[in-house]
Structure 1
Amino acid sequence: MASAVMKKTLTSIKNPLILRGLSSHTLRFSAVATARNPESEGASSSFTFNEKNSDKDDSIHVKGPSSNPRRETTSVTMPMSFMTGSIVGKRFYKQASTREADDGNGWTVMLDYRTLKTPSKRPLKLPTLSLAKAIAAEWEYQQTDGIRPFTMPLMKLACTALERVPLTRMKIIEYLMKKFHQDLVFCRAPGDSDLTIGVLERQVEKIDPLLQWVESQFGFKPIVYSSFFGGKQEDGLVNAIENLLKKTDDCELAAIDAIASAAHSLTIAIGIFRGKLQIEEAIELIRLEEDLQVDKWGLVEGGHDVDVADLKVQISSAAAFLGLSRRY
């Protein structure tokens, strides 16, 4: 389902610069969301998420519009389960569209005449029209029998970038740097184990070019190790990576954090961020050892295939969000 939404979501984006680095199959998606003329929208009502606990109530509560909806706003409150993956309510709108923000700085998403808002009830103001269209496409794709938040990864990333990152930026960077020493691409399989025959050679073949790129970009050669507890990278490399993260904007940091979390590798996230890695290349590096085991022992249906699909959605959605949020 989520993979299908990603296909729908990137439909109307035609700028090749924005989609640079995305996989070839992503570029074939068809259009869903369209931008409207701001003047034709009139005053907008609001759509918000409810942050309160609502374990016993997963319904959608709608305050009806007044006789003159252009003067009085309408609110739609979603239960907290929207952010946790449950199916919530029924689709209550006919069309999702985009419009320029009232202050002319950014773009918003409209559900009929309602303005989409963040969980803290602030307007979902997006940096580019392309990203607004993509998020509108996620809403347009929702079925009449229920809204499925787990099929809206771009919406989730947008809320993270607008609300979580500004408040916890330094904590996010500190956590990423703490995990940097245990980065997936720094860990090498022992070459003397029957269970890892061929893994070390494959790591050298596939990962070493990325490590050489890191050295050329930041001036320090990454240290590889074979311990599960990680190693210690040089302070120069650590400082260079940390400075890069500090210079990112909120959307970029949200995307890097999401990719690093899914990949267990900040290096792979930075490779996508800097355009060194494409989605398929990143997924190949992330699953390198497991895919070798699958080739040797076979694929477990309902296990390996689900993991692969989930990883593709996480990496591709974050990479798409990164590209769509950039102003060219």
Structure 2
Amino acid sequence: MRDQLEEAHKHRDDGYGRAQHLNQVELPKRFYTEVDVARGEDGYSITLDGRQLKTPGKKIAVVLPVLGVAQAMAKEWAAQDKVIDPATMPMTRLINSALESGEKTAPAFRAEVGKFAGNDLLLYRADSPHELVEEQERVWDGVLVKLARKFDVAFQPTVGIIHQPQPVSTLEKLDAALDGQGLLSLTALVSITGLTGSGLLAIALLHQLVTPDEVWTAAHVDEDHQIRLWGEDEEASERRAKRRIEFDTAVSVVDALNRT
């Protein structure tokens, strides 16, 4: 499984992660005039001057199962000006990541969410200061209670960083909570998991137990505590804002697929 995940991450660099490297190279010029969404037998495609859009690495035709995702991706292409800047195209990067990773990586992506859930941010608590301990309990315990009631599971939070195994039955039920999720959804859930540091938050969001804003708040309890103590760093704030855009993009994919 680890080998599959490493291979998936290589392909993520073909699509999703490629934007990080383009700051060092000259961006390609915009070569098209019209952007549209075309409906076919297999789904929705984005067209540039009538030609079907393909992924940058493996040249896979971009065909999406839901109109809303295709429209969001088309909007990014239409918004490009003189050059094409993938850094401004989070939906495009996410979709390219999924398609270039391929269906064979779906089990590895599912396992990645489960791995985080078993060693989750929400399960490792601070022992001090008192204000942080209370805030973690207030925000994180609420999520754990909702998950416990929904899936009939039990959690064993711990104080500190020493690994605390979770019950096997809990891990099995949380994995089953991902049943039916395809490659696009799992790619988005892996993105949400990585951005928040929590597989439990990703699963809770998938099942609409929490809102996106509640997930984002829960993921930043520790960071927000530090901001209250020492103030906000401008560069850190900019990085967080960029991560929020990536998060919102992934959430929109999960939401759109959930409604099909």
TM-score tier after normalising by the smaller chain length? 0.7 to 0.9
CA deviations on 1:196-222 (whole Å, 9 max, x unpaired) are 230111111111111001111111121
SS in 2 for 1:98: strand
2:143 partner letter: L
For the 8 Å contact 1:107–1:125, the answer to whether it is kept is: yes
Contact kept? 1:127, 1:327, Cα under 8 Å: no
1:88 — aligned with what?
A: 27
Distance 1:326 1:214 in 2: 18
Matched, 1:106 2:39: no
Question: Which residue in 2 is equivalent to 1:164?
Answer: 101
Query: Residue in 2 aligned with 1:123?
Result: 61
Give the residue type in structure 2 aligned to 1:240.
Answer: K
More helix by share: 2
| 1:151 and 2:88 aligned | yes
- SS of residue matched to 1:198: helix
Match of 1:311 in 2: 243
Change (3 A) 1:188 1:81: closer
Matches of 1:123 and 1:153, distance apart in 2:
18
TM-score by length of 1: 0.69
**Which residue identity is paired with 1:181?**
G
- CA gap of 1:132–1:270, structure 2 versus 1, over 3 A, is same
Q: Which runs of 4+ in 1 moved over 3 A?
A: 80-87, 325-328
Report the CA distance between 1:165 and its aligned residue: 4.7
- Runs of 5+ in structure 2 lacking a partner? 1-10
* Residue 150 to residue 249, structure 1, CA distance change in 2 (3 Å): same
In structure 2, how many angstroms separate the alpha carbons of the residues matched to 1:94 and 1:88? 17
Cα displacement string for residues 251-284 of structure 1 (whole angstroms, at most 9, x for unaligned residues): 2111111100111100111111111222221111
Matches within 5 A, 1:1-328: 84-86=21-23, 88-101=27-40, 104-118=41-55, 119-144=57-82, 146-190=83-127, 193=128, 196-303=129-236, 305-328=237-260
Q: What is the percentage of aligned positions where both structures have the same residue? A: 25
Distance 1:98 1:326, change over 3 A: farther
1:137 positional shift: 0.1
Contact 1:165 1:253 in 2 (8 A): no
Structure 1 letter corresponding to 2:94: L
Residues in 1 aligned to 2:141 and 2:259: alpha-carbon distance in whole angstroms:
32
Separation of aligned partners in 1, 2:259 and 2:231: 44
Instruction: Report the alpha carbon displacement of residue 235 of structure 1 after superposing the two structures with TM.
Output: 0.5
TM-score (norm 2): 0.86
Contact 2:112 2:190 in 1 (8 A): no
1:326 CA drift (Å): 4.3
Q: Which has the larger radius of gyration?
A: 1
Aligned residues between the structures = 243
Report the CA distance between 1:327 and its aligned residue. Answer: 4.9
Q: Is the 8 A contact 1:182 1:229 kept in 2?
A: no
Superposed CA deviations along residues 109-166 of structure 1, whole A, max 9, x for unmatched, are 011122101232221010012111110001011121x211011111122123333151
Q: Do the aligned residues in 2 keep the contact of 1:107 with 1:128 (CA within 8 Å)?
A: yes
- How far apart are 1:238 and its partner, in Å? 0.3
Shift of 1:324: 2.7
User: How far 1:85 sits from its partner (Å)?
Assistant: 4.0
Q: Which amino acid aligns with 1:313?
A: I
**What residue in structure 2 maps to residue 75 of structure 1?**
none
